[in-house]
């Protein structure tokens, strides 16, 4: 059986679910903790993923990168973790809806422009998932650094 758009979108859903496992049970003092200034806090990571989802949607719709990334989710700082999760669920749902409607009858090897770079649609969709996996690792790092008793394997894999 051929690999389809539904399969690729399934990978996008799975990568976000994998990310969500990393934020289950985050303690109040961990949301804004940073091991060093260049490392995003967990709260910043959630806001960043909203921006990434919106950026992917923008570039798939227009073929170019957003000129002002910060304008994709301005003034997110007062949002609580629960509010950020809600916005994050919405941003991913909007991206998936676009993928499903805009590319329903399009082969995965169709060329699209992702941030102005020509790629095959299947490659571009894989890039969406790579952001989730990268930032899941970042959240895991922050959680382990701030709480050495956190059991990564039990939380993420149920082991």
Q: Are 12 and 56 in contact (CB under 8 A)?
A: no
User: Could you give the residue ranges of the DSSP H alpha helices within the chain?
Assistant: 5-23, 42-62, 81-102, 121-146, 152-157
Q: pLDDT tens-digit profile of 30-78?
A: 999 999 999 999 999 999 999 999 999 999 999 889 999 989 999 999 9
Taking only the tens place, the pLDDT of each residue in 88-106 is 999 999 999 999 999 999 9
Go through the domains of the chain in sequence order and give each one's CATH number.
5-157 (1.20.120.450)
Residue 2: pLDDT band (50, 70, 90) is confident
pLDDT reported for residue 59: 93
Please give the pLDDT value at position 28: 95
- Examine the pLDDT at 151 and tell me if it is beyond 90: yes
Q: What is the pLDDT of residue 113?
A: 87
């Amino acid at each position: 059986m051929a690999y389809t758009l539904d399969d690729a979108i399934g990978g996008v859903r799975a990568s976000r679910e994998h990310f969500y496992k990393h934020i289950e049970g985050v303690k109040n003092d961990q949301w804004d903790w940073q091991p060093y200034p260049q490392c995003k806090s967990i709260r910043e990571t959630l806001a960043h993923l909203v921006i990434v989802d919106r950026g992917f949607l923008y570039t798939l719709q227009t073929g170019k990168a957003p000129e002002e990334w910060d304008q994709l989710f301005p003034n997110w700082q007062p949002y609580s973790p629960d509010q950020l999760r809600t916005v994050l669920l919405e941003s991913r749902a909007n991206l998936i809806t676009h993928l499903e409607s805009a590319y329903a009858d399009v082969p995965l090897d169709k060329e699209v422009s992702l941030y102005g770079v020509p790629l095959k649609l299947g490659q571009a969709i894989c890039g969406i998932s790579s952001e989730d996996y990268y930032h899941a690792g970042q959240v895991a790092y922050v959680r382990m650094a701030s709480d050495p008793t956190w059991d990564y394997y039990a939380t993420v894999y149920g082991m």
